[in-house]
Amino acid sequence: METYKTQETKKPNKLDKEMTPAQLARRDLKSSLPRKAQDRSLTAMAAMGEIFNLLDRFRGEVAARGLSKDTVTAALVYYQPEANPGMFANVVLLPEPAGIPVFVDTVLALDRPEFLSAFFHQVDPDAKSAPFQNTLFVVPLVSGPEEEGRLLFARERQRGVLRV
């Protein structure tokens, strides 16, 4: 009769010593996400629920590493294939908690949007060089044939806005 281990012992990662707390928090968030985004269409309420959940999880990871939750901001990426076919992708930034009602009204007022992803901007106060102090990364919410190109476009556009 074989016996199985019910609990694996976690080996320390050798790279943990080389990474900053912000990088470790980012890695922990990304490793907890599904490997591949689903091929689906999200309603405005579902997209907002996803981004609020992801932002809360990421801020929790950041706080667990001893950093301020204010070092993380998020945005929702969408496009409007029917209402505005010329727009390749657009971004709505999540405001501070006091501005959430305006954010919700803005998202609900969009005319037939297709929601693509959540953007995260993270400031790493412990980064060794300036290029690594600001990190912008995407968490895809949906997948499809054109979504990757739209996300790259939106990321580069947002990078210019943030000067990252």
**Domain-embedded: residue 1:** no
- 3 pLDDT above the threshold of 80: no
11-34 pLDDT, tens digit per residue, is: 667 777 788 899 899 888 888 888
Is residue 104 within 8 A of residue 84, CB to CB? The reply is: no
83-102 pLDDT, tens digit per residue, is: 877 778 888 889 888 889 99
List the end-to-end C-alpha distance of the chain, in Å, as a whole number.
58
**Domain-embedded: residue 6:** no
**Domain-embedded: residue 76:** yes
- 127 pLDDT above the threshold of 70: yes
Instruction: Report the domain count for the chain.
Output: 1
3-state secondary structure the chain: CCCCCCCCCCCCCHHHHCCCHHHHHHHHHHHCCCCCCECCCCCHHHHHHHHHHHHHHHHHHHHHCCCCHHHEEEEEEEECCCCCCCCCCEEEECCCHHHHHHHHHHHHCCCCCEEEEEEEEEECCCCCCHHHCEEEEEEECECCCCHHHHHHHHHHHHHHHHCC
**Domain-embedded: residue 31:** no
Among candidates 158, 51, 67, 164, which has minimal Cα distance to 115?
51
**Domain-embedded: residue 46:** yes
- Could you count the other beta carbons within 10 Å of the beta carbon of residue 94? 21
**Domain-embedded: residue 5:** no
Question: For residue 64, what are the contacts with CB-CB under 8 A and spacing of at least 6?
Answer: 25
145-158 pLDDT, tens digit per residue, is: 777 778 878 888 87
Q: Structure pTM? A: 0.80
Dist. CA 84–CA 63, nearest whole Å = 39
Residue identified by tokens 């009769």 is 1
- Quote the pLDDT of residue 5: 52
Give the domain extent around 109.
Answer: 21-26+39-162
- Quote the pLDDT of residue 2: 52
Q: Phi and psi for 28 in degrees, rounded to 5?
A: -65, -40
Report angle CA 18, 23, 27 to the nearest 5 degrees: 110
